Structure 1
Amino acid sequence: MVVDFNATAGQVISPSKLAHVVLRTNNLPAMVAYYTMFLGGQVIYENEMLAFISYDEEHHRIALLGAPGTQPKQKTSCGLEHIAFTFDSLSTLLLAYRQRKQKGISPLWPVNHGPTTSIYYRDPDGNMIETQVDNFDNPAAATDFMKSAQFAENPIGTDFDPEDWIQQISDGKPEAELMKREEVGPRGLPDFF
């Protein structure tokens, strides 16, 4: 492939994937323990100031930097709002929720956004983590929903009870029925944002 590096730029070339996220912390040991447990991951490399964690084929998905002078997270400051991880099915998302619950990790917010069904958590530093499953069979269908009047009326979503959904799935209710968002009308952000 011959690349013309001097060609006039139209649209910038998109990356092929998101490789990793680096979080700065003042509590490296607790954050390493949390993320390895939360992700079912492993530490690939760690020293007194860095840790690289992976849960798949990538050499690291989360890096933790224990930097001197790091101050506690301020809820109202600019910056990363959350990191999101996708699961292949609603049952797998809910199983991971149950496994985390057994290990003392409680969810912050279960919500069906419409395009995704999500369960949010907070790490020891106060960063939010979203675990999600796609509610549509393909990205185009999710995009169409996000362009709909229903989504415009409520782009936040509808809360749900993971324990209730686990029971419904156990009783034979199809995942697809649960993943169709219940419409509740206009809604603002929850208080913890």
Structure 2
Amino acid sequence: MAPMNGTQKVLSPSKLAHIVLRTNKFDQMRDYYCNFLGGHVVHGNEFLAFITYDDEHHRIALIGNPQLQDNPETTSGLEHIAFTFDTLQDLCTAYKQSKALGITPGWCVNHGPTTSMYYRDPDGNKIETQVDNYDTPEEATASMMTEDFAKNSLGMDYDPEELCRRVESGEDDASIKKQEKVVPRGLEDFPNIMAKMKTSKVGF
């Protein structure tokens, strides 16, 4: 796809490296991300924390400033960050382990391309954990170009306990990932989704 301004395409980065968040709840946010991601602090002090959970030196960085105002969630800005698991079993394992720590999602939805759970951190930032519903990016892209996806690009909600019960019963992943009958859904559904997100718990 050519750039929108008609000029030569800019060289794309090789990957997305990390996210940096400002916070006035530094200790709580540091502990939350270490718990939620199964991560650890590579370097930290009283106002900085570099957190990783894989081979990258840090995936989340936190900058603490007690003078910051709370996030009002009424301004333009970042909507959420997303982390992918390889399987539905892994998604459910992380869900149950997080739940044991008092961390629960507010919105669980099959988007079509992904099966997703949405959480909120102590500052109110939204986090998505997801599993790809298709074996290849090409298949996922093709699904996003269908009439069904145009009719409902938000997805169909599900109960995480029921999903995990189906996974643990040995049901085939493909049948669990398959969306039920798609019904239209659009901008008018956002207030209900936002209300669900407020039920997410951030820990003990």
User: Out of 158, 177, 180, which is 1:160 matched to?
Assistant: 158
* 2:200 aligned partner: none
* 1:48 aligned partner: 46
Say whether residues 1:127 and 2:125 are aligned partners: yes
SS of the equivalent of 2:57 reads coil
Q: Would the aligned equivalents of 2:108 and 2:159 in 1 still touch at CA under 8 Å?
A: yes
Structure 2 residues without counterparts, runs of 5 or longer: 1-6, 196-204
Bigger radius of gyration, 1 or 2?
1
* 1:4 aligned partner: none
SS of the equivalent of 1:33 reads helix
* 1:115 aligned partner: 113
* 2:137 aligned partner: 139
Distance, in Å, in 1 between the alignment partners of 2:116 and 2:154 is 11
* 2:3 aligned partner: none
Distance, in Å, in 2 between the alignment partners of 1:166 and 1:21 is 29
Give 1:50's aligned amino acid. L
Structure 1 residues without counterparts, runs of 5 or longer: 1-8
User: Out of 53, 65, 70, which is 1:67 matched to?
Assistant: 65
SS of the equivalent of 2:49 reads strand
Q: How far is 1:119 from its partner?
A: 0.3
Say whether residues 1:177 and 2:169 are aligned partners: no
Q: How far is 1:68 from its partner?
A: 4.9
* 1:101 aligned partner: 99
Distance, in Å, in 2 between the alignment partners of 1:184 and 1:28 is 41
Cα-Cα RMSD: 1.2
Give 2:93's aligned amino acid. L
Give 2:63's aligned amino acid. L
Among all aligned residue pairs of Structure 1 and Structure 2, give the percentage whose two residues are the same amino acid: 56
Question: 17-26 or 180-189, which moves further after superposition?
Answer: 180-189
TM-score (norm 1): 0.92
Give 2:128's aligned amino acid. E
* 1:5 aligned partner: none
TM-score (norm 2): 0.88
Q: Would the aligned equivalents of 2:148 and 2:182 in 1 still touch at CA under 8 Å?
A: no
- Which gives a bigger RCO, structure 1 or 2 (Cα 8 Å, sep 6+)? 2
Give 1:182's aligned amino acid. E
Distance, in Å, in 1 between the alignment partners of 2:43 and 2:167 is 39
Q: How far is 1:67 from its partner?
A: 2.7
Distance, in Å, in 2 between the alignment partners of 1:61 and 1:98 is 23
Q: Would the aligned equivalents of 2:25 and 2:66 in 1 still touch at CA under 8 Å?
A: no
Distance, in Å, in 1 between the alignment partners of 2:137 and 2:190 is 26
Q: Would the aligned equivalents of 2:42 and 2:51 in 1 still touch at CA under 8 Å?
A: yes
Q: How many residues align?
A: 185
* 1:6 aligned partner: none
